[in-house]
A = this chain, B = another copy of it.
Amino acid sequence: MTLAVLAIGDELLNGDQPDTNTADIARLLAGHGLALGEAACVRDREEEIAAALNRLAAAHRAVIVTGGLGPTADDRTARAAAKALGVPLALDPVALKQIRDRFQAWGRPMHPRDEKQALLPARAAVLANPEGVAPGFHLRHPKGAELFFLPGVPAEMRAMLAAGVLPRLLAAAAPRPAAAVQRLTVFGLPEPEIEQRLVRAALPDGVELAYTVDFPVVRVRLSASGDGADLAVDRAELAARRALEEHLVALGDETLAGATARLLTAAGLTVALAESCTGGLIAKLLTDQPGASAFFERGAVTYANAAKTGWLKVPPPLLARSGAVSAECARAMARGIRRAAGTALGLAVTGIAGPDGGTPDKPVGTVFIALAGADGERVEGFLFRGGRDRIRLHSACTALDWLRRQAIDHLSGER
């Protein structure tokens, strides 16, 4: 039987705050082979919380509830839980002691209103909160479902989920049939083409496929269960590698930028960047990766032409003739940054991310990417669609993919 999450709070529905807890819970549970069957989000209203609790408890073996345990008047989860189960609220001595100890440890005075956080449904088992004040609690619903109540503060929720909830869920979980999962990140192919290739690849029977577009990449999930699940998914991965070829950019939790960083490091290739329209985004994505200094030497964000001519030695006549957004300029930028940095590779991006700056012959979305290496430069022009953010992200990921392929070619001795 499946598990459910119930997130509680007006702020999650009125646009003030996104609910990150449900995704965090799903990720942690998935890591232990536990699946969420459903998630729900309701307001800080006693009746609505109680109704959602009873509905989810009837359909799932356990419900993880987050939010509404704090000291303020709009924290109504404990009261709603008591109502849903038809039990009274009582001041819980264990919870009260935990709250007192917490304030003592912090050396902060305990406000009378903080006692409210110890007012729990009768027979609730307290769950300690190592990160904050509000204790959580655990109850069994008359319909048999286990109910776990956690604070909404993400750090507190995560700590209590791992320490107080996960062990019980795993202990109560029916021995699961063997299951295996592999995740593929694909760049440069539209979703239907990916599916067509994987259908043609004739994956092993029993391997399920799921697709998720996370622009500009597509994620493919290969999963199987039962005996031989691992072997089936391994063979499916091999078939998928063949079918998707160089468009398969990462496996598992690795990202395109992470794979690019890993491969550049393995290939021993140093890189310098010259970014115009991406404005530092490529450098940011590469230096997000720990250890980036192994391959990343420097980056230039050359918005003004003076920076292009000064640092990158782009000839002013070239700028005058072809403009900053041109194949010629991209080539000169890549060559210039490579020479300035003395790196194996120099990568340059120049384009028009919009919303302004477009012209009839160079509309918004026009982007030129150039890669300079020991054997010269490669330059390509693109017309990316969408708004400023999409154009910048698509440009950056395309540039990363160029670096990734260059590293692979280098490792495979082709260059």
Contact = CB atoms under 8 A, between A and B. Distances in A.
Q: Which of A16, A153, A195, A299 has the most CB of B within 10 A?
A: A16
Interface string A295-330: 011111111101100110000000000000000000
A287 B349 CA distance: 14
A341 B386 contact: no
Interface residues of A, number: 104
Contacts of A50: none
A260 interface: no
DSSP class of A's interface residues: helix, strand, loop or mixed? Answer: mixed
Nearest to A286: B279
A93 to B, nearest CB: 21
Nearest to A109: B193
A41 B16 contact: no
A238 to B, nearest CB: 21
Interface string A33-75: 0011111111110001000000000000000000000111110
A190 B191 CA distance: 45
A288 B39 CA distance: 33
A83 interface: no
Nearest to A28: B15
A111 interface: yes
A354 interface: yes
Contact of A386 (B27, B38, B155, B210): B155
Give the number of copies in the complex.
Answer: 2
B293 A16 contact: no
A14 interface: yes
Interface string A175-192: 000000001000000111
A253 B219 CA distance: 31
Interface stretch (A4-12, A135-143, A226-234): A4-12
B290 A354 contact: yes
Contact of A301 (B219, B283, B306): B283
A26 interface: yes
Nearest to A354: B290
A213 interface: yes
A306 B342 CA distance: 10
A210 B16 contact: yes
Contacts of A14: 26, 30, 35-36, 221
B301 A301 contact: yes
Interface in A358-412: 385-390, 392
Q: Which of A29, A209, A304 has the most CB of B within 10 A?
A: A304
B287 A280 contact: yes
Nearest to A23: B18
15 contacts: A10-B221, A12-B26, A19-B22, A22-B41, A38-B41, A38-B43, A73-B209, A113-B192, A113-B195, A155-B387, A279-B284, A288-B389, A290-B356, A298-B301, A299-B303
Q: Which 3 pairs across A and B sit closest by C-beta, in order of nearness?
A: A279-B287, A15-B30, A280-B283
Interface of A: 9-20, 22-23, 26-31, 35-44, 48, 70-74, 106, 108, 111, 113-114, 131, 152-155, 183, 190-193, 195-196, 209-215, 219, 221, 273, 275, 278-284, 286-288, 290-293, 296-304, 306-307, 310-311, 340-342, 354-356, 385-390, 392
Given A18-B23, A38-B48, A279-B288, 7 more contacts: A13-B38, A14-B30, A16-B221, A70-B213, A155-B390, A279-B292, A298-B311
